Structure 1
């Protein structure tokens, strides 16, 4: 991405100055004072926290994957489309992707049943894109969305009705 070193996975995703800007943005946003490992495999094995249902644990689990994914997509955009996004735009993409993933996790795991920690409240304050507010007393979506029964009706005379529903054997 930077064209200043051989493009290895570790260089592209961690050591490249462009990638480091994204990682520094993420670490600053999370208020984490840690050093990045030297290899990408170390990121996925060293970033572990006790398993508990919280916004922080969700962030911890998805952040590194999404940063890597967005850096990879930016690399491909530069190579195959000859377009480069600004640092701010790339960081905004990362922030949106993480917020969407954490919001979905919060809804799916119904984090409202678990008290928010102080760290969770801090994260909610720093990440306004994360939507973890209770909906009708709980987080998430209603497991049984409203459905409408549809009955097949034959077409009017002189018309042919063809259904395309994708079902096949």
Structure 2
């Protein structure tokens, strides 16, 4: 279930595509490249230089956190946000984090 939720779900992929477009992250390997979540994360990280690996890690953690919260909204509250809204929440969380630690 975790692999599906974090990388294979069509909602997750659409939200991710929106987020990386906004952040101008560039081309990342598609989620279908590997079957495991860890394998995909490692493949994506390989595309960043040493100084930007933590940038990618921060983004992906905030993204998965927002995907998890969306799953809970749908499961427990019977409400949902769009792919764009989840991507925007992630972007805002990351920007707040960056401001707090810059």
TM-score scaled by structure 2? 0.78
Structure with bigger gyration radius: 1
Aligned to 1:130: none
Specify the SS of the correspondent of 1:83: coil
Aligned to 2:50: 51
Query: Which structure 2 residues correspond to residues 68-147 of structure 1 after superposition, within 5 A?
Result: 68-105=64-101, 107=102
Deviations 1:81-124, CA, capped at 9 Å, x for gaps: 1111122221210110111122233x2xxxxxxxxxxxxxxxxx
- The count of aligned residue pairs is 96
Aligned to 1:11: 4
TM-score scaled by structure 1? 0.50
Distance (Å, rounded) in 1 between the aligned partners of 2:25 and 2:81: 25
The answer to whether 1:40 aligns with 2:37 is yes
Structure 2 portions without partners, runs of 5+: none
Structure 1 portions without partners, runs of 5+: 1-7, 108-169
1:57 Cα deviation after fit: 5.1
Higher relative contact order (CA 8 A, sep 6+): 2
Specify the SS of the correspondent of 2:50: coil
